[in-house]
Every structure is written in structure tokens, then in C-alpha cells.
Chain A
């Protein structure tokens, strides 16, 4: 590591430490808050945080958002208390099902990308400081910013240290796997891994199941704790309930105008990647479903009319929540969810330990990115899932965020785009922005292109399609 990293960087607080302070804020919020009361609080917050809070706490979703924020708060808080409660903290990527960790008495999950995202949303200077330091270590600027923010924080700042890493991107994402190999070495903590056989044949699936079982055994060994069938049943029971709610929410997306607020896409997978399998998660998603049903009844929609129904084929942008989710909504552009919502939750058979492990393996195999980028053919599987979603939700356009470092999706984007047009006549907008670093392409520029696309291509299409019936 450079002289720089050693003497300068350690003075800074790391991502997790700073975040745990921020999320505690949500406890300070009264459940019913007047706009004045809110502005009063925001006034005292640093600008980046205030901006995100404005997005989260827009009156139409405020009560749900507070519920969600409190859930995140509980999640991070438990990570901090894990030590004194004799629990081990697992650092997992977003595409590893946290309920597997929740099934263990002595373990708690902390999720890389969720931390980066919360950091970008709520910390002053967003994640850029950490990104800069990662670059300072000589890491490539073409690497995923979500991962680089994580590395920059972990290696150059004073921060909370997990006990073990699970790497779950072998086969579906090089940079994520490489980042965690790198992290494990420099944080000097064990690395457990789960390979996605890039093989959808029965043989490939069985092999994946074998790998998954081995991982579970390794976790049991690391914790000195055997999976307890009763505890599993309880956790998976919560997960199953959450899965049912997921599909209720999914169906609510089908109405036009869409009663599901744009930002719920983020809320949903934020919960999915952290608390899935806990009662808190069930409560949080229930609150989302209730809110949407209520909006459906009242026929509430933030804009005069719904002008576009967009599926975001991969990630969204997280460096300006208000400028992204809320802005689109207020312009009648519905965000029907993005690639990270496509995790196809299934109800797991809780008959026996065996059925539950098999069920968890199936869940893991269908997590976002794992399922698409880890398939026999990345572009084909990705395309199939997106086509399916566009039909299910009656989308009239697809938008690809073009997250700079995402080499797998970038190499499938042109096939996706042309095949989607050929088979469904649905147009794709390919943007070029970084999901976590605003500096790459500012939100204003992205908004400009989105409007151009909606006005020229989508509106046009909607009228003709409606005309045809």
C-alpha cells in the first residue's frame, strides 16, 4: 500500500461506522410528521443526506419510508451488537440470500452493495472519498464503483470489521469476486465462496446444489453451529411470507397508472438483501403492499397521467434518489422495477432440513445477476427475464443504466436491445452513467436523455399501440 494510504487515510471514519450514525436518525422521526416538521429536521442535515431524505420522505410515501429506514437501522445496529451477543458478522454480496445467514443463531449478515448504496445516499461527499482512495491504491477506475467504495472504506479508513466474507459472484461477476478475494486478503479474514455453474442443465443445477451444501457445511464449521431445523423453519417461514408479499406487490405493478411508487423498487430489494427471513422484513413489505393497495383504491398517481412504463433492465442510479425515482414519477414515468428486483422468490417446502436447504439453494440460484449473468448464456437468460417482465407488467420501454463497470451486461446490451425490438417491438434506451458515482454523468444529463426518449419514442408508441388496441 502506498505511503499515502497509510498515513493520511486512516484518519477517516469508514462507511459502516458513519452509516450507523446516520440510520439512527430515523428513530428520531415521529411516525406522523408535518412537512414543516420535516423541513425543520432536514435543515440541520448535510446536503447529500437532506437530498435523499427529501426523496424518502415525500409525503405520499413518508410513513412507509420511515418503516423501511427503521428496518435498515435495526439491521446495522444488530451488526454492531453482534460482537457482544457472541455473533459472527458475515460480509455478503447482494446476490447471496441473507436468510441463509439468519438461519444461524450465531451469525448476522452485512451486505456490501447495500452499504455502498446507503453511503452514497446519506453520507456527505457520497462515496466519492472512498472511491478516490481505492483509486489511490492503484485499483482500476473501470472497476465497479459499488465495490471500490467498499474497498476504499475497508482498507483506508477506520471501520467496523466483519469476521468472514462470503463470495457469491464466481461465475456471475468477475470484479465482485475479485474485490472480495482482495478484501479477504488485506483484512485478513476467511473467505467462503459459492460458484454459480454457468450451466442451466440439470447437471449444472445439481452441481450448484452440491456447492451450496458445501458452503452451508463450511459456515456451520466456521460458527461451530449446526443448522437447527426449528430455527430454519421459523426464518424460512418469514421468508416465505415475504415471498408471497413480493408477488402481491408484483401484481399491483400491473395496474395503470401504477399504484406502486418508483422508489419502492429500491426499498424492496434493500430489504431483500438484508433482512429477508426476519419479521421486520415481513412488516416492512406489508407496509409497502398496504400503501399501494390504498393508492390503487384512491386512484392516486403523482403525475397527471402515466406517460411511460419503464423496466430498468439492470441497476438504477443511487447517487441522487430524488432526481431519479421521484423526478421520473412526477413526470409520469413509472419505474416498474429494475433487474435487481428480478429474484423470483419461491415458497420453500419446510418439511425437512433437506427440503429447506434445497429450497434455499434454489433461491440462491435465482438471485439477481446470479440467475442472469451466471446462466449458460448471459444475454439469452437476461433477455428472457426482461421479455417476461415487460409482458407481465405491460411495460412500453426498457432502460439500461449502462453502469460503467458492468462488463457482463454491457457485453450483452446490444443483443438484448436488438432482440427485444425484434420480438416485442419494445424499444430500449441505453444510458451511460455510473450507478453510484454522480461525477461520471450528472443526473441532469440523464434526465435530459430520458425525457428525449420518452417524448420521441415511447409516447409515440403508446398512442399507436393504443390505437391498434
Chain B
């Protein structure tokens, strides 16, 4: 089995073969949900950083007992998996105030499960000297909390090594995006989302090695013929099936600005000096997330640059019902993209729901017809 197949074989399991082996070897796993969490700190502690996902899980009845139907269904699906035992392999959780739904998810999760290790990483909503200082302290506190509870010493050397590991990953992912965005693409959007999702359930060092393999395999590959090159942007979605469906209709998702996509790594590099300060700056300054309330211009520049780089024919903004942040952001993005001559399809959809597929198909097909694909 080659590297990509090996990823694909487990890309929609939660408790993957890999994690099972890791646990059996006595390894620890820390769950986190938001890209504002510096995985380097967890990696440096010799722990597996696991990004909480639901892969479009359709059931929410346990989640609905605590969160409301007015809460984001991605959060309700993750809570479901937390409460039905699927996530029992986690040795602890790092909470972040990514958004109000996410805060609600974590509070209810902890209320029911009561993890022994449950650390709240507080992320400011704007970038300024004072908020950077605060976030730096937050990271030190997280570092202390982890070393204290898991009895490991997280040295600066270990941190710098972890940072280097993720720098290499970033470099490889950028190569992967180059293969994806080039005139004759070598990877599909579904493949890339799979790679990034699965990568977020691996130790950095292992993910890096896998990526090397994938890049070799894909170097001269090519994707099936397509009708149009699209960019996918919007809220947290790990619904690989959604992307697969779109590509089955002839749309090539040539690039993205998703947090299960390029946003999770793109601008995180460079800088030097104290590792904790470095991480604080890298993470807070380049979140590209609408939860940062003063950074629209930076986000917009990033989106436009990405769209141009991948030379897309159109953009699809997808967000889950009840997502306030992306719901409002989508209005600005739509206006600005169209001002720049990039046609837009806005898909406000129910996360993980098969109900919408018929309707989404129609909208995607019509959009392809509209942009003359």
C-alpha cells in the first residue's frame, strides 16, 4: 500500500489504526479543535496532537441533548462522538474559545465527561502588542500544564525541534498545493482534504514522512478532466464527501482557504528567537479566521492571493447553518470576490446532512453552467 492509499484507508476513521498502535505503545493523545492551538507544544511533549473531527457524522441525538438545534451541527456532531465514547481514547483536551459554538461544545463535553486534564487556551480576538504578550503567557501556561500533568519536561530544544518538524511539514504541504494549483493539477481537492484531515491525527514526524512519500507518488500524476477550477472557502468543514461530490460533478477544487485546508499551515513560518514567543506570533498573527474581529483586510488579501495563484474560475463559500462568524463574513467575501471578477456560489448547508445533497448538486451544476464550465 502506498503512502496516499495508507492515508485514505483510514482517513474517515476517528480512532485510526495509527492512534490505536500509538496508544498500545503507551503513547498519550491530546485532543484540540481549533487551528489556533499550537500543536508544536504537544508534539514537543512527546504527545500525539489530535484535532477533533466528525467527518460529517450524521447522528447528533446525544449532542442535541446538551447543545441546542440552534448550535452549529459540526460542534453537535463532535460532541456526539465525545459522549458516545468514540473519543474515549483522548487523555485530555485543550479547549479554545474559537467561537461561541465551540465554547459551548467544550463546556458540555467537560460537564458530562469530566476529563482530568482539560486545559483552556484563551485566544485573543485581535492582534496587538498587548494581546500577543497575553497569548505568549497563555502558551507558557499551556506548556506548564502539559508538563505538570503528563510529567514531561518540555525543553526549549524540544520545542525548537517540534517547530522545525512543522516547518518541514508546511514546506511539503506548500509543494502539495503547488501540485494542486498548477495549470495541469496532479492532486484533487478531495485528496488534499483527506491528507490534511488525516495529518491532523498523526504525530508531526510521521506526517512529515508520509508527505514525502505522497509528493514522490504525485510528482507526475494528473487529475481526470474537469469543467472548472474552483476555490473552496468558508467554515470548519471536514466533509471530504462534500468535496468528492463536487469534483464528481466536474468541479476541480483547485485550492482552498479552509481551516481543514491551507489556513491550517500557510503563513506559519519564519521568525526566530524564543520558541514560545515565536509560536505566539505565528499563530495569533495569521489565523485568517473571521473570529479575529479586526483582520478582515488581511484575510481578504490572503483569499485573493490564493485565488489568483490557483487561477480559479470561481469560488464556493460553504458554511454550516447557524455559523454567525462565517455567515456574516460570507456577505463581505461574496461582494469582494465578485468585485474582482470571481463568480461566487454561497452554500449555507446543514453539516453532515445527506438531505441537502440533491439540492447542493443542483446548485453546483448550475454554478458550473453559469461560469461556462
Contact = CB atoms under 8 A, between A and B. Distances in A.
Interface of A: 1, 137-140, 142-143, 167, 170-171, 173-175, 177-179, 181-182, 185, 191, 193, 195, 197-199, 203-204, 207, 210-211, 214, 373, 376-379, 404-405, 407-408, 410-415
Interface stretch (B24-32, B101-109, B306-314, B355-363): B101-109
Contacts of B122: 197-199, 204
B65 interface: yes
Interface in B288-338: 290-291, 293-294, 296, 321-325, 327-332, 334-335
A414 B97 CA distance: 19
A174 B327 contact: no
Nearest to A167: B293
Contact of A405 (B70, B111, B120): B70
Interface centre among B323, B325, B328 (most CB of A within 10 A): B328
B130 interface: yes
Contact of A411 (B108, B120, B124, B131): B108
A207 B134 contact: yes
Contacts of A173: 100
Nearest to A181: B293
B67 A410 contact: yes
Interface string B93-117: 0000101110111011001000000
B68 interface: yes
B66 interface: yes
B240 interface: no
Nearest to A191: B294
A138 B331 contact: yes
Interface centre among A138, A173, A185, A376 (most CB of B within 10 A): A138
A415 B107 contact: yes
Contacts of B67: 410-411, 414
Contacts of B323: 140
A389 to B, nearest CB: 21
Contacts of A140: 321-324, 327-328, 348
Contacts of A182: 328, 331-332
B111 A379 contact: yes
B125 interface: yes
Given A138-B334, A191-B294, A193-B293, A143 B65 contact: no
Contact of A143 (B125, B131, B324): B324
B126 interface: yes
Contact of A178 (B65, B70, B328, B348): B328
A411 B107 contact: yes
Given A170-B293, A197-B122, A407 B130 contact: no
8 closest Cβ pairs, A-B complex: A411-B104, A140-B327, A410-B68, A175-B324, A170-B125, A407-B100, A178-B328, A408-B100
15 contacts: A139-B331, A142-B322, A178-B325, A181-B294, A181-B296, A185-B296, A197-B134, A378-B107, A408-B104, A410-B68, A410-B70, A410-B71, A411-B103, A412-B104, A412-B107
B108 A414 contact: yes
A410 B348 CA distance: 21
A140 B328 CA distance: 7
B332 A174 contact: no
Given A171-B97, A378-B103, A408-B103, A413 B68 contact: yes
Contacts of B293: 167, 170, 177-178, 181, 193
Nearest to A197: B122
B70 A407 contact: yes
Contacts of B66: 411, 414-415
Contacts of B294: 181, 191, 193
A174 B331 contact: no
B137 interface: yes
A210 B129 CA distance: 12
Nearest to A204: B122
A413 B332 CA distance: 32
A93 to B, nearest CB: 13
B346 interface: yes
Contacts, number: 130
Given A137-B331, A181-B296, A410-B104, A210 B324 contact: no
Contacts of A404: 70
B70 A142 contact: yes
Nearest to A140: B327
Contact of B330 (A138, A142, A203, A415): A138
A210 B329 CA distance: 29
A214 B290 CA distance: 23
A412 B70 CA distance: 12
Nearest to A406: B70
A404 B327 CA distance: 15
Nearest to B335: A1
Contacts of B321: 140, 142
B63 to A, nearest CB: 10
Given A140-B321, A411-B107, A415-B108, 12 more contacts: A174-B291, A178-B325, A178-B329, A181-B296, A195-B124, A211-B130, A379-B111, A407-B70, A407-B71, A410-B71, A411-B105, A414-B66
B104 A407 contact: yes
Nearest to B112: A415
B253 to A, nearest CB: 22
A203 to B, nearest CB: 7
Contacts of B68: 410-411, 413-414
B330 to A, nearest CB: 7
Contacts of A138: 330-331, 334, 346
A214 B129 CA distance: 11
Contacts of B120: 198, 376
Contacts of A178: 290, 293, 324-325, 328-329
B322 A175 contact: no
B134 A407 contact: no
Contacts of B329: 178
A25 B335 CA distance: 41
A202 to B, nearest CB: 13
Contacts of B291: 174
Contacts of A376: 120
Contacts of B348: 140
A427 B329 CA distance: 39
A184 B8 CA distance: 45
Contacts of A193: 125-126, 293-294
Interface centre among B103, B332, B348 (most CB of A within 10 A): B103
Nearest to A376: B120
Nearest to B327: A140
